[in-house]
Amino acid sequence: MANTNSLSAYRETRIRTASQGQLIVMLYDEAVRQLDAALRLLALNMSEKRDPGRIEEIGKAIVKAQDIFTELMVSLDFEAGGNIAKNLFALYTWFNKELLEAHMGQDLTRITVIRNMADDLRGAWGRASATTNAEGRPSEGLNIAG
């Protein structure tokens, strides 16, 4: 119990003290983790007898990833971000649509494509966040709008 509380406190502190760029990277990290879990469970379901409990777990992982992409969408600043924010909004919308279709069709390929794109975006945000912090600019200078 104490370890669980310590881990929870650590995570909460990490989130509260993170810059905006670091928070975005954390969101992408979790989306990729959830999509990896969905892919792993879906592959298991395809190689073995379908398990209704596993199907539910796949759905939960996909929905968590969709929730993260929705959170990223609503956090966009279209005024400051211009075309980059508009393009990210369209991309996140497409991610959510593809994940819905992938879940209904149990499509590993579609989930893999979204997972890899999210991982690429995570890397880009990580580099941008590191560059912004290394140059001594305040972390508020990195805007989710791009």
Q: Residue 9's pLDDT is what?
A: 57
Query: Does the pLDDT at position 144 exceed 80?
Result: no
In CATH, the number for domain 20-130 is 1.20.120.340
Which tens digits make up the pLDDT trace of 91-118?
999 999 999 999 999 999 999 999 999 9
pLDDT tens-digit readout, 23-35: 999 999 999 999 9
From 13-22, 82-91, 92-101, 120-129, the region with the lowest mean pLDDT = 13-22
* DSSP codes of every residue in 32-58: HHHHHHHHHHHHHHHHS---HHHHHHH
Write down the domain spans for the chain: 20-130
CA 40 to chain centre: 17
pTM across the whole model:
0.79
Kindly report, residue by residue over 39-68, the tens digit of the pLDDT.
999 999 888 777 777 889 999 999 999 999
C-alpha distances in angstroms, 121 versus 3, 22, 26, 57?
33, 13, 12, 25
